[in-house]
Structures are given as C-alpha cells and as structure tokens.
Structure 1
Amino acid sequence: MYLIFSLSLLEEFDCSCNELESLPSTIGYLHSLRTLAVDENFLPELPREVRNKLIGSCKNVTVMSLRSNKLEFLPEEIGQMQKLRVLNLSDNRYFCNISQSHIIF
C-alpha cells in the first residue's frame, strides 16, 4: 500500500474494507487528494501524526469517509480542514467531544 503514497497527483483514495488498524503518516504525500474513503476498517483513532499530515499537506480534501470503524472521538483538528465539505462518521463508537462552534452547517 505504501507505493500508493508516491502518487502525488492522486485525487481519490479508497482503502475501505481492508481491516486496517491505522493509516501511515505518508498519506501526507498525497498533496492532490480530494476524496479519502477509509470505510469498514478497524481504526480506533486518527493518530496525531496522520491528522497533522492530512491537515498540513492534504489541503484539498473535500470528502472524508471514516464510516464503520472503531472511532471513539473526533479530533478537533478536523475543524481546520477548510475545504472539507462531507465527513461521514456513521457506524462508529463515536461520541461528540467538540463544541458545535467547530461545526459549520
């Protein structure tokens, strides 16, 4: 899977249904990424290093789907993804830990 992260022009990345328990920080090399789908895996969290790479390097992400994982919280840094328009967190263990001031409807 790590070869994929050398594709700097890749706009859509779907690694759903792969029993992943984490994402590599090299995801930050996907500078053109617009859609990230990581559905139906076993992610318990988005590690800080991955969050920082997504926010700092993948500035064009408009759609992120983390449906059907084991997420228990939503990191506040997600609110810094200025172009994010669709965020799917359905079917997680998620509980709300950010104030509504971070969410724009």
Structure 2
Amino acid sequence: MTDWIRVCATGELLPGEMRQVWDGATPIVVVNLDGEYYALEDRCSHEDVELSTGSLDPAEGSIECMLHGARFDLRDGRALCAPAYTPVPTFPVKVADGAVWTRDDR
C-alpha cells in the first residue's frame, strides 16, 4: 500500500476547482465538488490527455476532456459519452489535519 500524497490545504481547493498531483508516475486530478473531494487518474481513457486541462460541470458532477469532449463521472470514473467508453480509475481521498490527501492504491 502506498503512502498518502498531500494535495493541498482544504482552503486552497475551493468548490468547483481541481488540482493535479503525482503519485510516483501516476498523474491524479483531485476535484472539490461542493465540498466533497474526488480523485481520478488524470488521463482520458479515449486519448492520453490530461483531464485537468478540461472543464468541470458541477451540476452533472463530471469532468470533460478538452480534446474530444469525452465526459467522466467524478464519483466513479465512468464514461458518460462517446468517444470514451472505458472508465478512468478513481482513487481514495481523505481530509485530515486541514489538508486533502489521496493515493494510488492499485
């Protein structure tokens, strides 16, 4: 089991914002969705593009890849529309000691 990676202080990631961190060679995008934090692999499953360069839809709870418009559910990583059909991996997130933490636990 890998160690937790500190993303930021809770006050540095406001609702509707996202931040990229790395766990070794794994890019992870962490999103604050109305006070709940979610982490996904920062790589579109359709094309190898960073999801953190895309846009968030807080109402839908999704992130959209800026390259071809594939959208993914922040809560479980499932693909919501073509051209993506494969989900992106999700990772655990915890809030402790005034900070947001995640890790690649695969």
Give the alignment's TM-score, normalised by structure 2: 0.26
- Larger helix fraction of residues: 1
- Larger strand fraction of residues: 2
